[in-house]
Amino acid sequence: MAQRYGGKYSPEGGSTKPDLNDALSVPPHRRPGARHPHEGRPFWIVAAALPFLLAAFGNGPVTLARALGAFALIAGAAWTIREGLRAEFAYAARAASRRPAFPRKIAGSAVYGLGLALGAQAPELGLFGAAAIGLVGAVISLVAFGLDPLEDKGMEGIDRFQQDRVARVVKEGEAYLAQMRSAIAPSGERALVSRVDAFATTARDLFRAVEEDPGDLAQARRYMTVYLEGARDATIKFADLWRTTRDQKARTDYEALLADLEANFTARTKKMLEDGREGLEIEIEVLRDRLAREGVAPRAARE
């Protein structure tokens, strides 16, 4: 489907909202559709294993079974490593996060080594040689992709039950954002898709703020569920209407709705951050008063 190009310098550029998803202002992990930069590399592991398939046929059932088994193990290892990279990216994107429940990259590297060992069919290698090849392959995979996060990050003093509640609400909010984008994408209007993406970025800023301070969930939950559900429903209805009528007034109203929601989400995020800053300032003042009562003055004051 042909689609009109929209941007800052296009004829209709002045009528659209500024792109709040600009690469210079939005951290990479908060951009819509952000992925681990190395997520595509496991594909080349599968491509490198294709010779096992080519050598599988015409040399007897044992060779067939070994070659197909080796390829299946390596393909499964590549998929597992890719999932591990995704889990690592989600872990790194948050200030407070639990370690992945299952070390996918480590497990994938081990399975990759097994696949190489199974596929080593030269008679002179023997069992020891095949095992050595598998071990070297597993080590190379670990060096190339690294280890999984093995420790929780920023979880000190955080209630696990409250953190689980936040994770469930964030998952629900992310589902609403994904449904919004899926609904608007078939319209073929880049400006509308970018507008939804910009709103999603603002919503994710709120998600991150709540993840970093789960105590804010009570005041932010309405935004992350009720408001996002309403935005999802409005997006679906607008997309259906726009596809059949191209009603410009409906488009203007929809973009105004997104602007209002974005302003409210930004204000709520700012308020939570300011509350956290005020709490820090109170803690600092209390500590200073305690030091003063104990006769401990700051170094600058003594000098």
pTM of the complete model: 0.59
Given a cut of 50, is residue 19 above it in pLDDT?
A: no
Please tell me the predicted confidence (pLDDT) of residue 183.
93
Please return the burial class of 267, using the count of CB atoms within 10 Å of its CB with bins 0-12, 13-18 and 19+: exposed
Per-residue tokens: 175: 């589902």
CA distance 182 to 139: 40
Confidence of residue 123 (pLDDT cuts 50, 70, 90): low
Higher pLDDT, 61 or 113: 113
Mean pLDDT estimate for the chain: 79
Q: What is the pLDDT of residues 71-114, one digit of tens each?
A: 999 999 999 999 999 888 878 776 667 788 889 999 999 999 99
Say how far apart CA 113 and CA 231 lie, in whole Å: 48
DSSP states of 212-235 as a string?
H-GGGHHHHHHIIIIIHHHHHHHH
> Does position 167 have pLDDT exceeding 60, yes or no?
yes
